[in-house]
Amino acid sequence: MPMEWVRGKTIGHGTFAAVSLAKPTDRSSGFPPVMAVKSCGISHCESLMNERMILEELKDCPEIIGCFGNSVTVENGVRLYNVALEYASGGALSDRVKNSGISRLSENEVRRYTKSVLKGLQFTHRNGFVHCDVKLQNVLLVGDGRGFELSMRN
């Protein structure tokens, strides 16, 4: 079944792609009501295609952002390759740390985030992949406080 969705506002930019909010057009499609869609021009999509393939292989790890599939769209005359991802409503851990100000993160929060990242890395390594860009900007927080975005390099 093809994935049909509507693009919302842009929420981030990566090295080779932009990330937008998206909503599925069919509420009975089985997709969540809000997703993040990572998009790039079709002529530059090799890295994003590779990322989608890796996320598919690592789909059984709850600490790694989920992937719902891919699509090609034409927007403003430009062909885009898109990957639909789990939306991390809590944003990046770097923003959480920056916005905590003087209060800083509690020891419990640090423990929880560290445990989640280590579980995600362990699963990634166990499956033959290496994460080459571990940093706070790539630790994404989903509603329940877990999350780990995979930014893979060949």
Residue 10 maps to a domain:
yes
Q: Are strands 18-24 and 5-13 parallel, antiparallel or unpaired?
A: antiparallel
User: Does a structural domain hold residue 104?
Assistant: yes
Tokens standing for residue 122: 């362990």
Q: How many domains are contained in the chain?
A: 1
Q: Is the residue at 56 inside a domain?
A: yes
**Residue 92's domain spans which residues?**
5-138
Q: What is the pLDDT of residues 65-92, one digit of tens each?
A: 999 999 999 999 999 999 999 999 888 8
CB-based contacts of 110, cutoff 8 Å, min separation 6: none
Task: Quote the pLDDT of residue 154.
Answer: 26
What does the alpha-carbon distance between residue 116 and residue 61 come to, in Å, rounded to a whole number? Answer: 10
The reply to whether 12 falls in a domain is yes
The encoded tokens of residue 18 equal 């932009």
What pairing do the DSSP bridges indicate for beta strands 35-41 and 67-75? unpaired
| Catalytically active residues, by annotation | 133
Task: Give the least confident one: 28-32, 53-57, 106-110, 134-138.
Answer: 28-32
Q: Is 53 inside any structural domain? A: yes
Report whether 38 belongs to an annotated binding site: yes
Q: What is the pLDDT of residues 7-52, one digit of tens each?
A: 999 999 877 899 999 999 987 778 899 999 999 999 999 999 999 9
The SS3 call for residue 59 is coil
Q: Tell me how far apart the alpha carbons of residues 44 and 17 are, in angstroms, rounded to a whole number.
A: 9
CATH number at residue 52: 1.10.510.10
Residue 151 domain flag: no
